[in-house]
């Protein structure tokens, strides 16, 4: 049996529950020292107090909340005792932490020469990133909306998002957010947004994948996405009798199909460019 080196031992010691507890402690113990613009004196704040004092009133996601405490209570009220140890609960709390961190870094007084976040703030950010890596999640920053979402890592989704317009990329990545589970209307809207950009991909498939693209288009047209296949009079489409649970599975299947169709086309374009380059090289 081979000996583990010390770094392998440290890697194997990672425990998600324990690490999540450390992140909660770090969040509570971060101290931000900065100049108060009201009296020009140096003051110390917790993350929540800092946001409450300087940033909540200018945050696009404030809604009608009057304090961070009120907002936190609203979020945490959705967590039941049975949910405490679930990964979904940890992600919800991490999302709350990360939105406050993002707000501080994007709108806070980071240019204040007296401003000091301390090592706990850096540890907090790094430990959150490490935990997300272990959970196979990543952050999606929507700058125009001033919010951060945590989405499941999906290499295919990331690859397609990178070659898409910003609006479509957001739709592709948001589809994997935990809050979308069971949200048929939300998934329907996202699939529609994706279709608007990649309709030509399905209409002009590459060789050997025409049947695949045809089936994807049929699903778009018959799964109550592009057309009303549920309530229209005299509608004989079988989707009328399909349960919401089964319909969601088909939505998820279609989502994966359009990712694959896009990647296949992108790969075909890349292959053709390589052939052109090789042809030019050979002709030299």
Write out pLDDT tens, residues 102-118: 999 998 765 554 456 77
Write out pLDDT tens, residues 214-225: 888 888 888 888
CA 216/CA 222 separation, integer angstroms: 10
What pLDDT score does 113 carry?
46
Please give the average per-residue pLDDT across 192-208, as a whole number: 79
If you write DSSP's letter for every residue of 48-90 in order, what string do you get?
A: HHHIIIIIGGG-TT-TT-SSHHHHHHHHHTT--GGGTTSHHHH
What pLDDT score does 265 carry?
75
CA 16/CA 21 separation, integer angstroms: 9
Phi and psi for 26 in degrees, rounded to 5? -60, -45
What pLDDT score does 97 carry?
97
Phi and psi for 283 in degrees, rounded to 5? -85, -5
CA 246/CA 248 separation, integer angstroms: 5
Token pair for 209? 């994948």
What letter does residue 231 receive in the DSSP assignment?
S
Residues contacting residue 38 through CB under 8 Å, at least 6 positions apart: none
Write out pLDDT tens, residues 43-97: 889 999 999 999 999 999 999 999 999 999 999 998 888 888 888 899 999 999 9
pLDDT of residue 237 exceeding 70, the answer is: no
Write out pLDDT tens, residues 123-142: 999 999 999 998 889 999 99
The pTM of the full predicted model, rounded to 2 decimals, is 0.75
What pLDDT score does 70 carry?
97
pLDDT of residue 238 exceeding 50, the answer is: yes
Residues contacting residue 83 through CB under 8 Å, at least 6 positions apart: 89
Looking only at the bridges linking them, the beta strands covering 137-142 and 42-45 are unpaired
Helix (H) or strand (E) holding 266: helix 244-282
Looking only at the bridges linking them, the beta strands covering 137-142 and 147-152 are antiparallel
Cα atoms in the Cβ-side hemisphere of radius 13 Å centred on 168? 19
């Amino acid at each position: 049996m081979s000996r583990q080196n010390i770094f392998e031992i440290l890697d194997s010691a990672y425990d998600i529950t324990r690490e999540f507890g450390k992140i909660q402690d770090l969040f509570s113990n971060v101290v931000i020292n900065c100049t108060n613009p009201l009296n020009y004196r140096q003051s110390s704040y917790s993350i929540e107090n800092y946001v409450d004092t300087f940033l909540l009133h200018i945050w696009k996601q404030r809604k009608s909340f009057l304090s961070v405490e009120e907002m936190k209570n609203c979020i945490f009220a959705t967590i039941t005792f049975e949910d405490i140890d679930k990964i979904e609960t940890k992600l919800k709390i991490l999302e709350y932490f990360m939105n406050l961190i993002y707000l501080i870094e994007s709108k806070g007084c980071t240019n204040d020469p007296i401003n000091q976040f301390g090592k706990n703030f850096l540890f907090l950010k790094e430990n959150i990133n490490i935990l997300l890596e272990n959970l196979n999640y990543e952050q999606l920053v929507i700058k125009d909306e001033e919010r951060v979402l945590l989405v499941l890592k999906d290499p295919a989704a990331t690859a397609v998002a990178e070659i898409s317009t910003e609006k479509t990329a957001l739709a592709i990545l948001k589809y994997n957010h935990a809050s979308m589970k069971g949200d048929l209307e939300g998934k329907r809207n996202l699939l529609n947004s994706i279709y608007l950009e990649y309709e030509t991909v399905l209409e002009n498939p590459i060789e050997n994948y025409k049947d695949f693209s045809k089936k994807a288009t049929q699903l778009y047209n018959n799964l109550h996405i592009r057309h009303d296949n549920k309530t229209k009079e005299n509608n004989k489409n079988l989707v009328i009798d399909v349960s919401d649970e089964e319909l969601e599975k088909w939505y998820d299947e279609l989502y994966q199909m359009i990712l694959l169709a896009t990647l296949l086309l992108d790969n075909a374009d890349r292959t053709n460019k390589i052939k052109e380059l090789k042809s030019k090289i050979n002709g030299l």
